[in-house]
A and B are shown apart, each in its own frame.
Chain A
Amino acid sequence: MSSLLETFRDEGLELIQELEAALLELEETPEDSTLIDRVFRALHTLKGSGGLAGFDNVAGFCHEAETVFEIVRAGERQVDQALVSLTLRAQDHLKGMILHEFGDEAVDAEVTVELVAAFQALVPYQQNPLETDHEEAEGRHDGQATYRIRFRPNPSLFRQGVQPQFLLGELALLGDSVVVAQLDNVPALNEIDPEECLVYWDILLTTDYDEDAIRDVFIFVEDDCKLTVQKIDDGSQLDQPEDYKRLGEILVERGDLTESDLGKYLQEKRRLGEALVAEGAVNDSKIKAALFEQERVQKLRKERKTHDAMESIRVKSDRLDKLVNLVGEMVTVQARLSQLASSRVDADLLGISEEVERLTWDLRDQVLNIRMLPIGGTFTRFKRLVRDLGTELEKDVVLITEGGGTELDKTVIDQLNDPLVHLVRNSIGHGIESPEVRNAIGKPRKGCITLSAKHTGANVVLTIADDGAGLDVARIRAKAVEKGLVSAQAELSERELFNLIFEPGFTTAEEVSSVSGRGVGMDVVRQAVDALRGSIEVRSEAGKGTAFALKLPLTLAIIDGLLIDIAAENYIMPLSAVEECIELTRNDTEKSHGRNLVKVRGEIVPFVRLRDEFSFNGRCPEIEQVVIANLEGVRIGFVVDHVVGEHQTVIKNLGRMYQDIDGISGATILGDGRVALVLDLQKLAEKAEIKENSKFT
């Protein structure tokens, strides 16, 4: 067999010849639909074969020409001299593209672009929808879930050449499945048509894949069957009761029994299953399927519960706090040991010091891990809140939670409760429209609030999203002007406008209700998140909804810090906010004419001189360092004398006297016993901004 490339070359050149012949004839008789078909088919085949043989350029190029001829074929465009000439040029070009692979000179890329543009100009609008994406992501679900599937094919299924057992086999590959065949549609033997598929199936599937992956198995028969897929147990939710539904409930949910019949049979003294079968209300195999489901879910939930119980013991949280404090002390002492060891020429001491360092870090990670709790418990409490508020405000709202297994430090979780309550209240109060309004604008009656948590690096991002009306930018602006927060002429980006809602006393609600409108809340949310050294970001689209993303550190006690110094004093910056460090020479400073701006790879970044901020006198070094930090999506530089390096920072509170100093969030003890202050970069940036603004107004 010749190689695939050679096969394609031979076929391609043949097709190009065919294309040329058809085009030349078409020039004579432009109305001839057989000729138009020939041109189209040649291009079409060339595209398909080119794609398969790895000639993506040929395939892509043919696609443009093919699109035009598809329009011609549909009678929406006439063939004219110009089109024939253009396609003839394209045909020569295609030949060059193919032969280039076999040693000929490459085609002129500019000509490719020109021809493609010429074809595209002939397409009145986007003719072809997006090409189907073949790189479908594996539909993995976060954690294991159990689905109840009923696959009820049309009787004609066999005549479609489809064998249901292969589909069920395919489904079984996704996870642990139980299949029960339902035979109640199968008639008496003398009435059976063996060519018809009269059986249908109930399947119970426990899988890591999501619902789309399950539906994909049935993609070829989706129009020829009734398929129901219902999630009946979600492994990532921790709050489910251990017992599952009763048999009667399951049968009603499955549509195998009506509610009123259930009531009737429950009054009998016999067991429900027996009564139903004896009376012929529900047949045996349906009960079997329902019992399988009941048993499976009960088993799964029990397993999860014992799994949790077996591996945990209850410890008072203050004991854990003490342990964390001790580890903190130890990290500090270890830093001293490391510093001492590195200053002496003693290999043994250095060896021991490194060993202690490694163990301390391990110990630190383990101890901090103990304090980690899944956020799911907090999420569960919101179900009730959403339900109650929904009733109170006459709104139909459903709460969806995702990532309940994500773990956060206990202290962080405890302090998160209030801000989350505020945000969820706001979503229901301001965001979600009333069912009537939603109906009128074509949204589903039920509003939806999603609470989700996920890890990103050293942070956890909590998102509270609703599918409500979105923030009203114009109203926020008007209100902000009215309150004197911004001037009427101020040019504000969408982001800056959104951030105004966090200003104290800000509200756009016309009436005060018990839920929202007092304007206390959003600023409290901001404060609480700040206190947790987190940040908050708002995304909103009018009519589509609003999302608040809270980015929070995994832990509060010990952080990775960047040690810097200014005028021989040490400070710590949280490393999670730092993007990079660059140099700033005196020359740079002079060139910038007193404006605090620095160019970082083409982007202008404003900076704050911490020397000025802290009112240090004395000369700054010839070459200073700018630490570029990313604060809620905005890049800001902080000018320091030196960047010393990374430092494991055990954060100590400053005590009541000093805790309200803006810009300082705590302190830590360095290896040599000195104290370094931990900087709150967000606050420092805000202070600098205020100063900067007042300079110009």
Chain B
Amino acid sequence: MAVDAIAQPELEQIERIGGADLVVGILASDPNCDADAVRGMVRAALGTMSKPVRTVVVCRNGAGGAENPGLPDDSQSPAVSFFKFADPDPAKGPLQTLIDAYQTILTVGGKLGARASGVIASEPRTITAQSAVYRLFQPLLELGFDLVMPRYNRQKTEGLLNRSILSPLSRALYGERLQNPMGPDFGISGKLLQRMAERDDGARRGFQVNPLASIASTAASGGFQACESYLGVRVQAATNWPDLSTLLALVLGPVFLDVERNAALWQRIRGSKPLPWFGNPETESGEAGTVDTQRMLESFHLGTQNLQEVWGNVLPPTTLLELKRLARLPPAQFRMPDDLWASIVYDFVLGHRLRTINRDHLLRSMTPLYLGWIASYAIELETAGQAEVEARMERLAAVFEARKPYLLSRWRWPDRFNP
């Protein structure tokens, strides 16, 4: 990880801490990182482990944080140190701030030579933070895993970018069935962190590096052992609809860049395998509520009317025709076929690689298509139960795998298939 993510005085503080077995970043939305409460929580979580774990807790220097930095508090075992980093420039926006925070935490993990590092970014609702720490780091420290990714108990309208693009794409390309390939909570071993740092060298080519985007691919490329842990239900932030295109650009940009970087790897991988998991899936909790599909369909229609020229740079004529046909369907019959959606995602991945148009334009122009997919998903699964939703997502992921040869062909011979 890049050392320049941390200012010089903070680097000196890290050096004073010396070393650690575990670095835990806490990025929950509440910036009040109370040192005593967090120490107590981490001690309770890690106290049950067979060996004492020297831990460094990293969090933002929020409003309530009083102490910094922490030499280990050795009065109780296991030793827990504290490191608070300066709040990043708020002008960068919340997503970019979050990405910078991840970068900082992983840099601290690398600098301290920790056996395991990780981040807890979401607020668990049905399990305690203590359980979340245990579930994320116990497989790393005691069971020899290199990567622990989260599994959440989600309402059917939660995690939609994960469901529609990130998870099926990661599964089809890297062969590992991760529910949330980009966390946001995760734990990684020191070996995997080191590998990520090596791969990051020279990877910053004009596009913002997001460490979350390369975790799954790095683990797959090095044959690292990955698993998943159930973290229950988490608090979901409300969607900022006017800024949805920024979210897509910030999340998908690094993911597509990572696909480009790992082309040699994913072209060799066929099929996918399920991963071991820990914890217990909870039963569905509460009603999902209704989604305003009307607005999404309007956005999709507006896109098909106005963005044909932009989409025409990346999508083949057959796909454009299919989208026009979809736009004519009445709302109740609106369904985006999985084949079409997988092809669209693959075409955008390729368009991003070929720089057919400006990358930011490309990613932002995907917003109406993504909203079209959400509308189709919400209409189709309006009355579906959790099991039905999971089965539906499994079918979508299988289609992504089945359509992988299409991406391979276009990737290898883009001119032959050029729209």
Q: Do A and B come from one complex?
A: no
A residues in contact (CB < 8 Å) with B: none
